[in-house]
Chain A
Amino acid sequence: MIRFDEVSVTYDGAGAPSLRDVDLEVPEGELTLLVGPSGVGKSTLLGTVSGLVPHFTGGTLRGRVTVAGRDTRTHRPRELADVVGTVGQDPLAHFVTDVVEDELAYGMESLGLPPAVMRRRVEETLDLLGLNELRDRPITTLSGGQQQRVAIGSVLTTHPKVLVLDEPTSALDPAAAEEVLAVLQRLVHDLGTTVLMAEHRLERVVQYADRVLLLPARGAAPVLVTPAEAMAVSPVYPPVVALGRLAGWSPLPLSVRDARRQATPLRTRLSSAASSTLSAPPAPATPAPPAFEARGSGGGAPGNGAAPGLLARLLRRGKPQPTEPAEPAEPAAGDTARAHNLGLRRDSRQVLHGIDLTVPPGETIALMGRNGAGKSTLLATLVGTLAPTTGEVTVGGRTPHRTPPPEMVRRVGLVPQEPRDLLYADTVAAECAAADSDAGVAPGTCRALVSGLLPGVPDDTHPRDLSEGQRLALALALVLTGRPALLLLDEPTRGLDYAAKARLIEVLRGLAADGHAVVLATHDVELAAELADRVVILAGGEVVADGPTAEVVVSSPAFAPQVAKVLAPGHWLTVSQIAQALDATATE
């Protein structure tokens, strides 16, 4: 369906080609997943299929790309519009009109289809994607998952043979991502559409793929193999594959279901390891217990004999949660941040309602919940950019929205969803100098942090030339310059590959060990499992669950990480925990 003949792409002014020697054919009617670390040219490869590379982006394309028999050298993107549908990372950048129904019809109008055909196809697509309820809604009022579905629908109406998607689920919460993936699978199975998709969050998509197009490194020749073969050699892989590699399973599992079938021996080994060493669900650098101590209910030392999970459950049962934070408990004096009965209204909508939250020093908390649940708003009230309508917030003893910004930066720092919002200057060095003077610290403090987080970035680099992960690290360094006791991160892993994510996790663990409290709002269940001591789940602006990570996520189908799903009912969260436990048994 899509044929690449010796394709190389070199952008203007670049020394080396971004993509080299692609020579393969993407088969018809299959879902092909494009896998590789950041910066290997995944987006470029996708762009060559729709013709946007090189017609729109510039650069030189050597070789030939043919889509359904049409050569992209001679056909411009608009002439390929009836065979290729493209959906980019940001659905909002995709929309041309403002109402769902018009958006679905836009592509067909451009192709000049008769009105009766357009009407029928719009109705069919509305049904296929479950969008009928939303047909008259302005697009900007939709949630992220709904927008992504509209974006997919808007290219489906022209009945393209090929659908090209660049990270369709990276901005979505787990449930919305499932929704989008279910639609894609239906297209492949029922309509025979060829889907070519790039995605960093392999744990969500790899089990749906028929083929994997693996780009192992920049400039290396890509290979088209089955998912299992690809995962055996790929430099990026989801936790379930990591678990399979660790346990030596063959064939490698791609889905939780595959893994569970092979997991029985591992489960028994782990449970025996746990009972013999008394250290089961292992506590890494920072154990979960602080959550309980800080909330004034902890009596005995946790993790002592009985499994903490059981202890925690017992503790929780005997404790009426809503009344508890209202007590003037003395441990609260040491809390980095507290919110009591916090409520916030915006345009007559109750965004937050009756939130009670304490953040003790050194603890990492993951805020989870669907798109629009109020996570970012809660972070904004903690940092002081929004004032609560009811209730009170204190961070480091001050009320954030009444404290002048220069004083607040030393107490709390927020890395926003789009880290580049924090960057104004032309060079990394200028950003650092500005951050030093903003925070009133000795010159060079920020630069030292940058060098620690981002080794090898020269002073004169323009912040916009950094990769997604590097930009996040720079923003993090700028925020950390003021040494805030409380660090907030909004969706930090969006667009990061596994390597960048691992570095981020390491950095944040180090900060927590230094006594920084960290709160992250995230959809990434794997990140929460790796990092968080405590998980707080928000829904409709209210806290619906608050407890140690193992407690909260293991019981939830949407928020459980893959390892927990494979090894349920055991309270295991990450592959590294398992590796430690297995090491312990091996040394005995």
Chain B
Amino acid sequence: MTHPAPRPGGASAALGGAVGGAVSGASTGAAPGGIPPARRGAPAAAAAPRRPSYERFRAPQDGRATALHAGAWWLWALGLATAASRTTNPLVLGLIVGVAGFVVAARRTDAPWARSYGAFLKLGLFVIGLRLLFSMLLGSPIPGTHTLFVLPEVPLPAWAQGIRFGGRVTAEQLVFAFYDGAKLAALLVCVGAANALANPARLLKSLPAALYEAGVAVVVAMTFAPNLVADVVRLRTARRLRGRPTGGIKAVLQIGLPVLEGALERSVAVAASMDARGYGRTAEVPPAVRHTTSVLTLGGLLGVCAGTYGLLAAQGAAYGLPVLGIGVVLALAGLRLGGRRSVRTRYRPDRWGARAWLVAGSGAAVAGLLIHAGGVDPAGMHPGVVPLVAPSLPLWPAASVLIGLLPAFVAPVPPKEASQ
């Protein structure tokens, strides 16, 4: 989007390789599809002598050889999500969502998984709405003075003391609920951004061999949702063909069963196909190795859980980091050992190059800076609701969120017409 349309694809792909550090001459084989060779070659050759020096750093076109590692996108998104979890300031949250949205708009492809971003946005809005609704219905411990309206209160029996249903609704509690909901929504939108930008199957390729089989199950399950939607559409059409209304509870019930049957049949067919194509071939390993693997993996995962909790709980940051580190090391050792059972090899896994470092690093930087900001400027990051004050935009945390825009400039540009 920041570049003019006729791009010297071949040249920039090769340059991308140079920047990425590891791509050999083979990259031409996977050079962006859709551009005829003549167009691809000529402008590059013509522009070669007096190409400005910044051309070297221009983002290459996305192709198999230049593709950004899916893990980099996830790290970037998780960095933004961590940042979002550290603030309830709606302006900062809005900025984070905006940054994620901008990068998605600039760098997503038209692959099926890339369309999920809109769904996550809607989900975020739904979460905010739900949070507000519950706050209105169930009340809130936030003391408030600005009463907006009073709902009829439902008298509850004595054993349900402490729970309120209906009653006074104050501006303070609604603002608090909104801040809280917005935080959750921002987290969801960050996950949605990763989902839209990173191909789930590519991510699978980067999983340790021991996790591969579980990963396949997850990815196959994820492709089921779109299939189910397609089935529902088809069966609703078929209902119309028999002259029945397509809405209503009866329709849902009548369509539901065939949809589930269809899903089951398809999963059995995919399982048969995978089996016939060698899925699950294993190598023999001695029992001692198997047991060590289980112990290491379990211990490692426990460590990761405890460490993460410590980090996020805000009190236990002191012990959180080391425990997390030990957990990760144990789990990695377990996974590495577990990988001996698998005979699988990987076809053209994504490479982790300089651009991947930049993308992942930008996310980590945003997370780190906002965590720091939470310690230095708690008032700016968590605007008070009692008394009600208008949130102000803390300047330097906002500036640090903007670092998250970096991927929109360094990540490879998706081809304009991937599917015609």
Identify which of B201, B243, B246, B343 contacts A102 (C-beta below 8 A): B201
Q: What B residues does A449 contact at CB under 8 A?
A: none
The distance in angstroms between the C-alpha atoms of A380 and B240, with both chains bound, is 11
Q: What A residues does B39 contact at CB under 8 A?
A: none
Closest to A385 in B: B237
- Within 8 Å of chain B (Cβ to Cβ): is A538? no
- Within 8 Å of chain A (Cβ to Cβ): is B30? yes
Q: What B residues does A439 contact at CB under 8 A?
A: 243
Chain A, range 462-486, C-beta contacts under 8 Å to B: 478-479, 482
Chain B, range 223-259, C-beta contacts under 8 Å to A: 223, 234-235, 237-246, 254-255, 257-258
- List 15 interface pairs A-B (beta carbons < 8 Å), by A numbering: A88-B273, A94-B273, A102-B347, A108-B347, A109-B347, A110-B281, A111-B281, A114-B345, A115-B348, A136-B64, A137-B419, A380-B237, A384-B240, A409-B241, A421-B237
Contact, CB under 8 Å: B254 / A424: yes
Q: In angstroms, how far is the closest chain A Cβ from the Cβ of B298? A: 27
Contact, CB under 8 Å: B270 / A96: yes
Q: In angstroms, how far is the closest chain A Cβ from the Cβ of B411? A: 17
The distance in angstroms between the C-alpha atoms of A119 and B27, with both chains bound, is 12
Mark B residues whose CB is within 8 Å of A: 29-30, 33, 63-64, 111-112, 199, 201, 216, 220, 223, 234-235, 237-246, 254-255, 257-258, 266, 269-281, 343-348, 415, 418-419
Q: What B residues does A123 contact at CB under 8 A?
A: 29
Q: What A residues does B415 contact at CB under 8 A?
A: 136
Closest to A386 in B: B237
Contact, CB under 8 Å: A135 / B33: yes
- Within 8 Å of chain B (Cβ to Cβ): is A37? no
Q: What A residues does B235 contact at CB under 8 A?
A: 421
Besides A118-B345, A136-B63, 4 new A-B residue pairs in contact (Cβ under 8 A), listed by A number: A76-B275, A88-B273, A93-B273, A96-B277
The distance in angstroms between the C-alpha atoms of A79 and B281, with both chains bound, is 7
The distance in angstroms between the C-alpha atoms of A78 and B276, with both chains bound, is 5
Q: In angstroms, how far is the closest chain B Cβ from the Cβ of A142? A: 9
Contact, CB under 8 Å: B241 / A422: yes
Q: What A residues does B419 contact at CB under 8 A?
A: 137-138, 141
Identify which of B220, B244, B274, B348 contacts A405 (C-beta below 8 A): B244
Top-9 shortest CB links A-B: A81-B278, A110-B278, A409-B243, A105-B347, A93-B269, A112-B343, A421-B238, A141-B419, A406-B243
- Within 8 Å of chain B (Cβ to Cβ): is A549? no
Q: What A residues does B255 contact at CB under 8 A?
A: 424
Identify which of A78, A93, A119, A406 contacts B266 (C-beta below 8 A): A93
Mark A residues whose CB is within 8 Å of B: 50-52, 55-56, 76-82, 84, 86, 88, 90, 93-99, 101-102, 105-115, 118-119, 122-123, 133, 135-138, 140-141, 154-155, 158, 380, 383-385, 405-409, 413-414, 416, 418, 420-424, 434-435, 438-439, 478-479, 482
Q: What A residues does B344 contact at CB under 8 A?
A: 109-110, 112
Identify which of A50, A135, A137 contacts B276 (C-beta below 8 A): A50
Q: What A residues does B269 contact at CB under 8 A?
A: 88, 90, 93-94
Q: In angstroms, how far is the closest chain B Cβ from the Cβ of A7? A: 19
Q: What A residues does B64 contact at CB under 8 A?
A: 101, 135-136
Q: In angstroms, how far is the closest chain B Cβ from the Cβ of A140? A: 6
Q: In angstroms, how far is the closest chain B Cβ from the Cβ of A578? A: 38
Closest to B265 in A: A93
Q: What B residues does A137 contact at CB under 8 A?
A: 33, 418-419
Q: What A residues does B346 contact at CB under 8 A?
A: 109, 115
Closest to A123 in B: B29
The listed residue with most B CB atoms (<10 A of its CB), out of A135, A137, A138, A384, is A138
Q: What A residues does B241 contact at CB under 8 A?
A: 383, 385, 405, 409, 413-414, 416, 422, 479
Contact, CB under 8 Å: B418 / A422: no
Q: What A residues does B246 contact at CB under 8 A?
A: 405
Q: What A residues does B33 contact at CB under 8 A?
A: 133, 135-137
The distance in angstroms between the C-alpha atoms of A109 and B277, with both chains bound, is 10
Q: What B residues does A122 contact at CB under 8 A?
A: 347
Q: In angstroms, how far is the closest chain B Cβ from the Cβ of A93? A: 4
Closest to A406 in B: B243
The distance in angstroms between the C-alpha atoms of A367 and B33, with both chains bound, is 34
Closest to A383 in B: B241
> Given A96-B270, A141-B419, A406-B243, does the pair A81, B281 have CB atoms closer than 8 Å?
yes
Closest to B32 in A: A136
The listed residue with most A CB atoms (<10 A of its CB), out of B29, B266, B275, is B275
Contact, CB under 8 Å: A110 / B279: yes
Identify which of B30, B216, B275 contacts A77 (C-beta below 8 A): B275
Q: What A residues does B257 contact at CB under 8 A?
A: 424
Q: What A residues does B29 contact at CB under 8 A?
A: 123
Contact, CB under 8 Å: A138 / B276: no
Q: In angstroms, how far is the closest chain B Cβ from the Cβ of A123? A: 7
Q: What B residues does A97 contact at CB under 8 A?
A: 201
Contact, CB under 8 Å: A78 / B30: no
The distance in angstroms between the C-alpha atoms of A416 and B255, with both chains bound, is 16
Identify which of B111, B274, B275, B343 contacts A111 (C-beta below 8 A): B343
Q: What A residues does B223 contact at CB under 8 A?
A: 98
The distance in angstroms between the C-alpha atoms of A88 and B271, with both chains bound, is 13
The distance in angstroms between the C-alpha atoms of A94 and B272, with both chains bound, is 8
Q: What B residues does A105 contact at CB under 8 A?
A: 347-348
Q: In angstroms, how far is the closest chain B Cβ from the Cβ of A25? A: 22
The distance in angstroms between the C-alpha atoms of A111 and B343, with both chains bound, is 7
Identify which of A93, A118, A421 contacts B234 (C-beta below 8 A): A421
Closest to A57 in B: B272
Contact, CB under 8 Å: A422 / B238: yes
Contact, CB under 8 Å: A115 / B276: no
Closest to A121 in B: B347
The distance in angstroms between the C-alpha atoms of A118 and B348, with both chains bound, is 9
The distance in angstroms between the C-alpha atoms of A114 and B348, with both chains bound, is 11
The distance in angstroms between the C-alpha atoms of A462 and B175, with both chains bound, is 57
The distance in angstroms between the C-alpha atoms of A82 and B281, with both chains bound, is 11
The distance in angstroms between the C-alpha atoms of A257 and B415, with both chains bound, is 47
Contact, CB under 8 Å: A438 / B244: yes
Q: What A residues does B242 contact at CB under 8 A?
A: 405, 409, 422, 434-435, 438, 478-479
Contact, CB under 8 Å: B258 / A86: no
The listed residue with most A CB atoms (<10 A of its CB), out of B245, B254, B271, B344, is B344
Contact, CB under 8 Å: A136 / B418: yes
Q: What A residues does B201 contact at CB under 8 A?
A: 97-99, 102
Q: What B residues does A136 contact at CB under 8 A?
A: 30, 33, 63-64, 415, 418
Identify which of A52, A90, A110, A416 contacts B238 (C-beta below 8 A): A416
Q: What B residues does A109 contact at CB under 8 A?
A: 344-347
Closest to B212 in A: A109
> Given A77-B276, A438-B242, does the pair A135, B30 have CB atoms closer than 8 Å?
yes
> Given A105-B347, A133-B33, does the pair A110, B277 have CB atoms closer than 8 Å?
yes
Q: What A residues does B418 contact at CB under 8 A?
A: 136-138
Closest to A80 in B: B276
Q: In angstroms, how far is the closest chain B Cβ from the Cβ of A258? A: 36
Contact, CB under 8 Å: B347 / A52: no
Closest to B230 in A: A140
Q: What A residues does B30 contact at CB under 8 A?
A: 135-136
The distance in angstroms between the C-alpha atoms of A479 and B239, with both chains bound, is 11
The distance in angstroms between the C-alpha atoms of A515 and B85, with both chains bound, is 70
Closest to A113 in B: B345
Q: What B residues does A414 contact at CB under 8 A?
A: 241
Q: What B residues does A154 contact at CB under 8 A?
A: 277
Q: In angstroms, how far is the closest chain A Cβ from the Cβ of B211? A: 15
Contact, CB under 8 Å: B348 / A119: yes
Q: In angstroms, how far is the closest chain A Cβ from the Cβ of B210? A: 15
> Given A90-B269, A118-B347, does the pair A107, B278 have CB atoms closer than 8 Å?
yes
Q: In angstroms, how far is the closest chain A Cβ from the Cβ of B275? A: 5
The distance in angstroms between the C-alpha atoms of A458 and B278, with both chains bound, is 42
Q: In angstroms, how far is the closest chain B Cβ from the Cβ of A13? A: 17
The distance in angstroms between the C-alpha atoms of A109 and B348, with both chains bound, is 10
Q: In angstroms, how far is the closest chain B Cβ from the Cβ of A205? A: 22
The distance in angstroms between the C-alpha atoms of A434 and B33, with both chains bound, is 52
The distance in angstroms between the C-alpha atoms of A95 and B266, with both chains bound, is 11
> Given A93-B270, A118-B345, does the pair A138, B112 have CB atoms closer than 8 Å?
yes
